[in-house]
Amino acid sequence: MSKLKNRFSLKDVEVMSKENCHSGFLNIEKLYLKHRLFEGGWSEVLQRELIVKDEAVGILLFDSFRDEVVMVRQFRVGLLDKQVIPWMLELVAGMVGEGESTEQVAIRETREESDCVPIELVKIFEYFNSPGTSNEKITLFCGRVDASCVEGVHGLTEEHEDIEVVVLPFEEALAGVESGLINNAMSIIALQWLKLHKAKLLDRWH
């Protein structure tokens, strides 16, 4: 059996109770559960808090002719206690609404946050952002765009968005990952994916 294959399943977890303990910008549930152990038997009953979030989509916007990526910069409260400037350079991203596909979200969010429309979308992959504390699942795309006229400040007023569009040469964005100026998981993953798959993507898009 491949070591990639997991021997456990959902049948190896027993949730005794679940309750909502906070509803606001974040929704938090408290769970009491136990699970099977690698060496046999069951764990003790554990208390865990879970941040419950809708599925999210991130889109790396890439102009393959100009060799530029389109990113966005916006305020992030999670950086306030890190003694760093809380405006983060990141991908266009958003949450999946009821009845929406991830592709539809990618197109909608690109329009809202960068005022452009991807000509084509390539799915990168799906991953779980922080499974120790949250159920958030993220789907990443690479979107083909024309970056020649992309600029400005965008976002939805009713969602208090204040989003600056930043167009970077691809190599400069990679250098930003190396230097730590681009330091969020979604952006790092997508930019490194593009570095690995760029030649194949250029063949497809040109």
8 A C-beta contact, residue 51 and residue 75: no
Q: Is 159 one of the annotated active-site residues of the chain? A: yes
Helix (H) or strand (E) holding 30: strand 27-35
- One-letter amino acid of 113: E
Residue 23 phi, psi dihedral angles, 5° rounding: -130, 120
Helix (H) or strand (E) holding 114: helix 102-114
Core vs surface per residue 89-107: b (16+ CB within 10 A) or e: bbbbbbebeeebebeebbb
Tokens of 119: 């000509």
Q: Is 183 exposed, middle or buried (0-12, 13-18, 19+ CB in 10 A)?
A: middle
Q: Which of 19, 159, 172, 178 is catalytic?
A: 159
59 vs 109, 185, 190, CA distance in Å? 9, 13, 8
8 A C-beta contact, residue 113 and residue 155: yes
| Catalytic sites, residue numbers | 159
